Amino acid sequence: MTGWAQTGSLWGATACAALALWFVARRDAGGRARGRCAAVASDSGGSGGGAAGSRSAMARTGVLYARVGELLRKRREWACAPVAVLVAALGESWLPLVAGAVAVPFVRRGLRLRAARAADERADVAVTALCAAVVGELRAGREPGHALIRAVRETRGLGPAESSVLAAARFGGDVAAALHRASRLPGLGSLAGIAACWRVSVDGGAGLATGLDRLEGALRAERRRRAELRARLAGAWSTVVVLALLPLAGLAMGAALGARPLRVLLHTPAGLACLTTGLLLETLGLFWAGRIVRAGDDG
């Protein structure tokens, strides 16, 4: 009786988790989904009969899948929930549900860090394009302030600092100081070089176009060097991923042989001890390997 009660409670928790995920998806994409349902209803209104009802039910099911897919694309950390539910159902234990709930904030943090790094890369590319645009405007015969205004409007690479830089260039303010302040924002550190070139050209009379041209070449060379280094480190990252997935392959092989490894790991003291030790060693190994590879990437 205890086993049947535990199994019933587990499947009840699974149903509750699935319903919670459905309600979150419905709330997240409610407006667009209502519009789609209205369109489906108007299309099927003229048909009548059971065929129209069947098509409407299929359309609603498709809208539900679209909602869940849209939620997982926007909030990819919530993909831990269905994985945890599946493992909990297979292993008949509450522990995977707890682990999935704990993993969500860590996965969210990792995704945010990756998005921040991607944004920094895009900002660096935009600053390089800004240098090239300013050089082109200067060589076309325009004044430095007007050239900077046109280049900033063309590239749109300064983000929240765009208004302050444009105001300084348009109204005769300290453009170098505005660029230097903008360089403190994430991903815009290369603007400090533009600020230095601007200050030297104004104070010392040096050629602004020549300085920015050299700065653009240096930025492109640095981006090329980072790209080559990341290409060389791709093999190391692949090795880290393969080593991290080896325990899962072992569990799959054990399940294929009928050993029921999830049952052993989640329902016996020795299995729980092995699971805890393995997760700890896996976490430490991934952290250390990632640190080594990131150190090579930063270098």
Instruction: Name the pLDDT band for 203 (thresholds 50, 70, 90).
Output: low
Within 10 A of 55 (CB to CB), how many other CB atoms are there? 14
Comparing CA positions, the residue from 158, 214, 155, 152 lying closest to residue 188 is: 158
pLDDT in tens, 38-79: 444 444 444 444 555 566 666 666 665 566 566 556 677 777
Calculate mean pLDDT across residues 200-219: 80
The confidence score (pLDDT) of residue 61 equals 65
Q: What is the dihedral of CA 284, 289, 292, 298, to 10 degrees?
A: -110
Token pair belonging to 194: 């533009």
Distance CA 241, CA 239 (A): 5
3-state secondary structure the chain: CHHHHHHHHHHHHHHHHHHHHHHHHHHHCHHHHHHHHHHHHHHHCCCCHHHHHHHHHHHHHHHHHHHHHHHHHHCHHHHHHHHHHHHHHHHCCCHHHHHHHHHHHHHHHHHHHHHHHHHHHHHHHHHHHHHHHHHHHHHCCCCHHHHHHHHHHHHCCCHHHHHHHHHHHHCCCCHHHHHHHHCCCCCCCCHHHHHHHHHHHHHHCCCHHHHHHHHHHHHHHHHHHHHHHHHHHHHHHHHHHHHHHHHHHHHHHHHHCCCCHHHHHHHCHHHHHHHHHHHHHHHHHHHHHHHHHHHHHHC
CA distance 250 to 290: 22
pLDDT at position 266 is 86
Burial of residue 188 (number of CB atoms within 10 Å: 0-12, 13-18, 19+): buried
More confident residue, 71 or 190: 190
Greatest mean pLDDT among 24-38, 200-214, 234-248: 234-248
Q: Residue ranges per domain, the chain?
A: 1-74, 118-223
Share of the chain above pLDDT 90, in %: 2
Please tell me the distance from the alpha carbon of residue 196 to that of residue 46, in angstroms, as a whole number.
70
How far apart are the C-alpha atoms of 165 and 182, rounded to whole Å?
Answer: 8
Check residues 253 and 80 and name the one with the higher pLDDT: 253
CA distance to 74, 146, 172, 176, 288, per residue, from 78 (Å): 9, 48, 50, 45, 26
User: Which residue type, as a one-letter code, is found at position 253?
Assistant: M
User: How far apart, in whole angstroms, are the C-alpha atoms of residue 87 and residue 108?
Assistant: 20
What number is the average pLDDT over the span 228-244?
A: 83
Statement: the pTM of the whole predicted model exceeds 0.75: no
Q: List CB contacts of 151: < 8 A, sequence separation 6 or more.
A: 130, 133, 134, 136, 137
pLDDT at 60: 66
Place of tokens 């150190």: 295
Looking at every residue in the chain, the average pLDDT score rounds to: 76
